[in-house]
Structure 1
Amino acid sequence: MNRTPWRRRREPLDHAELAGLLPPPGDPVLPHGRLTTLEEHLMNEIQQARSQKAAEAQPRPVLLFPALPPEPPRRGGRRLALVGAAVAVAVLAGVAGAVQFTGRGDGEAAGPPEGAVPASIVQVAQGTTDGLSSTVDRISGAAEREKLPEPRPGQFLYIESQVSWLQTSENVDTGESRTYVQKLHPRQVWMSPDGSKGWLIEPGNDTTSEDGLTLDDDREDPARPSIGAPSYDYLKTLTTDPDELLKKIYKETEGQGNTPDQQAFTTIGDLVMEQVMPAELASALYRAAAKIPGVVVVDDTTDAVGRHGIAIARTDETSGDRTEWIFDAETFSYLGERTVQMRDAEGIKAGTVIGHTAITERAIVDAMKEVPGARSKA
């Protein structure tokens, strides 16, 4: 699910005075990656409970928290929705932009979060609806041609990518913030077709060790797949009619995100980015996305590893960032995704690239941690 990757911290009015009397704060006991994982786990549990309550006439008492107030507007940066609800709990922790507040009590500007680099600012090409239909037709056709073998029981879906997401450092005394991004780093995910087993290796973001971490859902009552946390087996059951598919997405994501249209676009983007799915469904999802108001074509953009391509994009009216799905301009194969701030907002300047991904491998493998093209394991 989505979560807010950056939000201005509100301090009490007498914070500056107190800061002068107290020693500088120490480092947190838990590492940043672990804190993020715990946060995402909590948010995922809340989302699952809400979805079940809406879908079942007699919902099970899963929600253990009091009713929450309406959420504030959320920034669109993220996210990688993955096979299996249990997988999403652990994996999403590694991809959403992280919040890191730094203050030393002396009024000095905050330094960069560990492992972060200054965010790049680019000249953003404006999008247009001219040629949207024909471009989506080519993208959908390419998706249908790029079929992978049907995974058998015991096999795993494998996705390898290069990723970088937003990080912000803020001085708690002055409120001054600076925008950074994670260093571009590799990410490997293995997922079983039923969504019950998985593995993640992403040491570059402190999400995992070099060996990675398990994504198995070993609970007695495992979470059921949904449009926001699907499995391959679940995706096979979805309609490939674009109109019906879009209707289902709007219904199941009601109340999420900043607007219904933006959340529908975000949900489709999550599904096609870090996922292996039936080719006919991928084609239908692109055709469904073209029906969302505000979707445009961007003639030239680049993915995380510098590959140029054409993009299908939409700007979040609330947060002001634009998410671009990038495709090869000749083959129309999916390359990755980029998120760019389109206007100054929340201390982030227009043109700042706040999210970057590049999918470098999708495959079906025979064993957990097996790397495509070799029988060795990662």
Structure 2
Amino acid sequence: MDELKLIAERTASVPLAESDALGSARARLMAEIAAAGTENVVPLKKRRRWVWTGVGAAGLAAAITAVVAFAPAGLEPPVATADPVAVLRNAAAVALKAPDTPPTPSQFVYTKTKQPDGERESWLSADGTHDGLIKMADGKSFPLPGCRNGRAQAYKGEKPLKGVMEPCTPRPAYRADLPADADAMFAYLNANHSGHDGDFNAMGKDVLALANENHLPSAVRAALFGAAAKVPGLRAVDHAKDAAGRPGVGITWPLGPGHDPKVAKPVVIVFTADTFRYLGTNSTAVIASGVVDAVGQRP
């Protein structure tokens, strides 16, 4: 096969790296070539040129692919077909370095998501004791009563039931109580996920529930993606897009028992291909988030 054709085929589906990343990637590539020793390079007489021998078209294509798909410094470089474990570990490394400013108890975690039926906004109480709100794509709003002293206002639809309170437990949107270690987080998810033991599809949905509309400390978010990397049967999805149409690298997991793979549509978690930032899924894209002081405010 023609070498240039092989290289083109190997790199066609690989996103180009940012220009700042290419310098260090090229340096690593040349360092690996030099480390291989001089037995595989032959000088052409007195001219300062080299011929690579013992490499072959496939090896050369793989080397160039490694540079094209180069990840940011300090992360594991994915290959032409992404390694799902490497992608999630890279996402964890990026999350760990993100700014970490905890909200105050009286603040709200704001999230705007894009879904098939439109955009949804939520204002969730940071400590779970203040009244929050969810605004649906159709314009309807649903109050989220805060839990104070073990009691919360009861609602029927959007209307409060006068004088009716119900038992409750605070559900804070700021989850500093979760494990900050990948192994501990995996054990937590396995013990608390919504499905039965070994139902990793249910565990995956719980991962998304935490990632989408909660404010997680940097170490906790890193542990969440690190725990997801431990799920068996992960698969990478090339040319994935989130619900807002943003392209990236996708990760999916096995469907739970009883799901017909011909009918069930797997959830695909999408990260940016160059910086491994979490975007959302193929059904729910996180397009804005932050901490605000009151319901109705936006970052």
Shorter-normalised TM range: 0.5 to 0.7
Q: Residue deviations 1:269-289, cap 9 Å, x none?
A: 211122221111111011101
- Structure 2 equivalent of residue 352 of structure 1: none
3-state SS in 2 of match to 1:142 = helix
How many correspondences in the alignment? 198
- Structure 2 equivalent of residue 365 of structure 1: 292
Q: 1:247 and 2:190 equivalent? A: no
Within a 5 Å distance, the mapping from 1:338-349 to structure 2 comes to 338=282
Deviation at 1:148, TM superposition (A): 4.8
Q: Residue deviations 1:252-296, cap 9 Å, x none?
A: 237x26952222222112111222211111110111011111222
- Structure 2 equivalent of residue 332 of structure 1: 276
3-state SS in 1 of match to 2:93 = helix
Distance in 2 (CA, whole Å) between partners of 1:224 and 1:293 is 33
Distance in 2 (CA, whole Å) between partners of 1:147 and 1:246 is 24
Q: Name the amino acid aligned to 1:245.
A: M
How high is the sequence identity, in percent, across the aligned residues? 26
3-state SS in 1 of match to 2:267 = strand
Q: Name the amino acid aligned to 1:133.
A: V
Q: Name the amino acid aligned to 2:92.
A: S
Match of 2:102 among 136, 141, 150: 150
RMSD value, Cα: 2.4
Q: Residue deviations 1:49-97, cap 9 Å, x none?
A: xxxxxxxxxxxxxxxxxxxxxxxxxxxxxxxxxxxxxxxxxxxxxxxxx
User: Residue 129 of structure 1 contacts residue 295 of structure 1 at CA under 8 Å; is this kept in 2?
Assistant: no
Task: Evaluate the alpha carbon distance shift between residue 153 and residue 221 of structure 1 in structure 2; reply closer, same or farther with a 3 A threshold.
Answer: closer
Q: Residue deviations 1:139-183, cap 9 Å, x none?
A: 11221233352111322110011112xxxxxxxxxxxxxxxxxx3
Deviation at 1:218, TM superposition (A): 5.0
Deviation at 1:358, TM superposition (A): 1.2
3-state SS in 2 of match to 1:232 = coil
3-state SS in 1 of match to 2:185 = helix
Q: Provide structure 2 residue ranges, at least 5 long, that are not aligned to the other structure.
A: 1-79, 152-167
Q: Name the amino acid aligned to 1:364.
A: V
Deviation at 1:186, TM superposition (A): 1.1
Moved over 3 A (4+): 217-220
Max radius of gyration: which structure?
A: 2
Normalised to the residue count of structure 1, the TM-score between the two structures is 0.48
Q: Name the amino acid aligned to 2:276.
A: F
Q: Residue deviations 1:87-135, cap 9 Å, x none?
A: xxxxxxxxxxxxxxxxxxxxxxxxxxxxxxxxxxxxxxxxx99623321
Match of 2:92 among 125, 135, 140: 140
Normalised to the residue count of structure 2, the TM-score between the two structures is 0.60
Q: Residue deviations 1:6-35, cap 9 Å, x none?
A: xxxxxxxxxxxxxxxxxxxxxxxxxxxxxx
Distance in 1 (CA, whole Å) between partners of 2:110 and 2:271 is 20
3-state SS in 1 of match to 2:231 = coil
Deviation at 1:232, TM superposition (A): 3.5
Match of 2:235 among 268, 271, 296: 296
Deviation at 1:190, TM superposition (A): 0.5
Q: Name the amino acid aligned to 1:191.
A: L
Q: Provide structure 1 residue ranges, at least 5 long, that are not aligned to the other structure.
A: 1-127, 165-182, 339-355, 373-378
